[in-house]
Amino acid sequence: MADEGERPMLNLAILGHSHDGKTTLAEALLFAAGAIPRMGSTDQGSAVLDFEPEEQRRHISVQLAMATLTWSGRRVTLLDTPGFQDYEGEVLEALAVADAALVTVGASSGSQLAVGTESAWSHLAERRLPRIVVMTKLDKEHSDFRGTLAGLQRLSPRPVAVQLPIGEEHDFRGAVDLITGRALLFDERGGQQEEDPPADLMGAIQELRQQLVEAVCETDDQLLERYLEGEEPAPEELRSALRQATASGSIAPLLVAAPARALGAGAILDHLASCLAPEQAPDADGPPVLHVFKTMADPFGRVTYYKVVSGTLLPDAHLVNAGSGQEERLARPLRPKGKALEPQERLLAGELGAATKLLHTNTGDTLGPRGTAPRPAIEFPAPSYTMAIRPKTKGDEEKIQSGLAHVLEEDRTLRLEREPSTKETLLHGLGDVHLEVTLEKLRRKYQVDAVLATPKVPYRETIRGTARQQHRYKKQSGGAGLYGDCTLELEPLPRGSGFVFEDKIFGGSIPQQFRPSVEKGVQQSLAEGVLAGYPLVDLKVRLVDGSTHPVDGKDIAFQLAGAMALREGAEKAGLYLLEPVMEVEVIVPEETMGEVIGHLNSRRGRIGGMLPAGDGLERVSAQVPLAEMYHFPIELRAMTQGRGRYQMQFHHFEEVPPQVAQPIIEASRAGHSREAAAS
């Protein structure tokens, strides 16, 4: 291997479906390059890149992790991303700084593409990033190279095999290099030994090599012309054209490996060094400009991860946040290696680094000399799954809010909201596992136990007709008494109008100073609700009459009179329950559209329309009550094998059907009775 720094840096995002071996492959590459002394294991919780306890317990990656290796004179930083859909935000952070990607595909996938593979391909297409595909787990039972390769053929750019595996399942031991025709026998240190290919594979070698040659020649006019005239390109010509086609995104070379035993790791590194190299290194002259792509938080401070976009970062750098204008001091450049941060003398343009104790910098920020223009922010997916969160122990509310504030700093796909009508704190994320792991982090990092529950629906109450109601509050118990008397008229307003109060008293039946007291009492009853304890909306209340007492007329008495008159008048006018209805847009594969529409119909949804969304997808619009949507993300994932996605927004309130409303009202009243008894 050549000395570090001879050739441009490569930041390589590793993407793919969950459990297709991304972290294991990264460990194998680090081990083969000598960056770690031994291979870690995700199953045993010893992987360098799965270092969080939540990852070790669940055997899945839940956050982006980084480590750097050197191969053939090139530094390569691996960005190991989670494959589980709930952690799409971590993938987007990696792609914000990646030069290229390596996509893992399990060899047992067969002809059906996994949703994680499709998602990775879509993200890479949006960013036009070059990629290499690695078919993993070829040493496992039911591995199927041919079937899995066939399943990949509908992707664009089309993956093209550059290697043919030697041996199947437990007998997998190497690969034929289809460019040179030589066999590479792999060893468990990531290396390989070259020899003649097995005779029984000659037919398959010829077939796949022809496919490779044709695919490469189609990207190079000169090679294609010679090929059509019967001239076969030489291995070096083929390799050079493949390098160009990969860099331009015209071809995605496919390699084979068994990462758990490091088989094929060295050959993959050779291809990374030759096929995915940036053509030119970024400009390392001048002051540094940094793009922050990730933040990690804990009770002791934050770690800020960045890419040196240009210039060279040296110790004791003073840079300005381009968005806020506040200055930050970076004491020393650090290079991430799993959870470790290794001090460096400098970091050059293109390299990834980390800083501690930055006070005014968040994910997406740009740091540089004063006057540096901010770089575009990372666009994270909108939350699609919501649960109510509360502390297990009463009195821990402040503690849980503090812990969540730290967690939200590092995870930009989480959102916290207070729902005033239900008095619940709502935690929005990308799925059930996402929120469960968030609770585990809260417990481990901030020593606070929290629980999740299905949110209460923010119902509303309203009136059906008009009513006139008088209430006199009178209390005398020796000494000064209380007296307040008012008459209210109630009438419904159009949906969404809220509340209107009118003072229609002529003369002095209620003194001017007590009329706001009546309104205050009315407002209190509106907030508390009458039918089932939900806010009362969309009505007009007129204060039309009343009386007072020269001595006992008091502010509190008129408040109580107003509150009771409102409650009694609302019951007389006819109360009913309103529920929020959401505008929902669902994008699903054509083959599952019928099931999804049937499901929405069974959830009291009204289908608004269906339109093609391209790539075999259909767009379904519907209006669905919010009460029916809380578990929809999990149900949609099951119905579509993770391929469906949706978004929703509030549309309007409408009446809850009587058969649905009655159990809600009874349950609410029972809850209020229990609370009253407990107090």
In a domain, 390, yes or no: yes
Question: Does residue 669 register a pLDDT over 90?
Answer: no
- 109 shares its domain with 185: yes
- 66 shares its domain with 195: yes
State the pLDDT at residue 507: 81
Taking alpha carbons only, the member of 630, 645, 530 closest to residue 580 is: 630
Which pLDDT tens digit goes with each residue over 389-417?
A: 999 988 888 889 999 999 999 999 999 99
Beta strand ranges found along 384-449 (DSSP E): 385-391, 415-419, 424-429
pLDDT cut 70: percent of the chain above it: 97
Torsion of CA 200, 203, 204, 210, to 10 degrees: 150
CATH number of the domain to which 465 belongs: 3.30.230.10
State the pLDDT at residue 5: 42
Which pLDDT tens digit goes with each residue over 117-133?
A: 999 999 999 999 999 99
Give every CB contact of residue 112 below 8 A, 6+ residues apart in sequence.
151
- 428 shares its domain with 312: no
Question: Does residue 247 register a pLDDT over 80?
Answer: yes
Domain boundary among 325, 342, 368: 368
In a domain, 675, yes or no: no
Question: Does residue 285 register a pLDDT over 90?
Answer: no
400, two tokens:
């849980």
Question: Does residue 88 register a pLDDT over 60?
Answer: yes
CATH number of the domain to which 423 belongs: 3.30.70.870
pLDDT cut 90: percent of the chain above it: 82
In a domain, 22, yes or no: yes
State the pLDDT at residue 40: 85
Q: What are phi and psi of 197, to 5 degrees?
A: -75, 155
DSSP class of residue 512 equals G
- 584 shares its domain with 562: no
CATH number of the domain to which 341 belongs: 2.40.30.10
State the pLDDT at residue 494: 96
* Termini Cα distance of the chain: 75
Domain boundary among 275, 306, 329: 275
595, two tokens:
């099931």
- As a whole number of angstroms, the distance between CA 54 and CA 570 comes to 52
- 392 shares its domain with 429: yes
Task: Read off the pLDDT of each residue in 33-51 and give the average, rounded to a whole number.
Answer: 90
pLDDT band at 280 (very low <50, low <70, confident <90, very high): low
State the pLDDT at residue 598: 96
For residue 555, give its domain range. 461-573
Domain boundary among 536, 553, 573: 573
- As a whole number of angstroms, the distance between CA 113 and CA 641 comes to 11
Of the candidate ranges 192-196, 273-277, 496-500, 507-511, the one whose mean pLDDT is the lowest: 273-277
In a domain, 379, yes or no: no
pLDDT band at 385 (very low <50, low <70, confident <90, very high): very high
Task: Read off the pLDDT of each residue in 324-338 and give the average, rounded to a whole number.
Answer: 95
- 562 shares its domain with 584: no
For the entire predicted model, the pTM comes to 0.89
Question: Does residue 2 register a pLDDT over 50?
Answer: no
State the pLDDT at residue 257: 97
pLDDT band at 679 (very low <50, low <70, confident <90, very high): low
- As a whole number of angstroms, the distance between CA 586 and CA 599 comes to 12
- 162 shares its domain with 269: yes
- 322 shares its domain with 428: no
266, two tokens:
């060295």
- 197 shares its domain with 108: yes
Do 6 and 71 form a contact (C-beta atoms < 8 A)?
no
Q: What is the mean pLDDT of the chain?
A: 92
State the pLDDT at residue 677: 63
In a domain, 633, yes or no: yes
Q: Which contacts qualify for 355-360: CB closer than 8 Å, 24 or more apart?
A: 355/303, 355/304, 355/306, 355/328, 355/330, 355/331, 356/301, 356/302, 356/303, 356/304, 356/331, 357/301, 357/302, 357/331, 358/302, 358/304, 358/328, 358/330, 359/326, 359/328, 360/321, 360/324, 360/326, 360/328
Which pLDDT tens digit goes with each residue over 598-657?
A: 999 999 999 999 999 888 899 999 999 999 999 999 999 999 989 999 999 999 999 999
CATH number of the domain to which 229 belongs: 3.40.50.300
659, two tokens:
């058969």
- 568 shares its domain with 586: no
In a domain, 438, yes or no: yes
Name the more confident of 676 and 45: 45
In a domain, 667, yes or no: no
- 563 shares its domain with 527: yes
Question: Does residue 6 register a pLDDT over 50?
Answer: no
3-class DSSP assignment, residue 601: helix
- Do the strands 366-368 and 312-313 form a parallel or antiparallel pair, or are they unpaired? unpaired
Which pLDDT tens digit goes with each residue over 497-511?
A: 999 999 999 888 999
- Report the domain count for the chain: 5
In a domain, 204, yes or no: yes
Which pLDDT tens digit goes with each residue over 354-378?
A: 999 999 999 999 999 999 999 998 9
- 569 shares its domain with 581: no
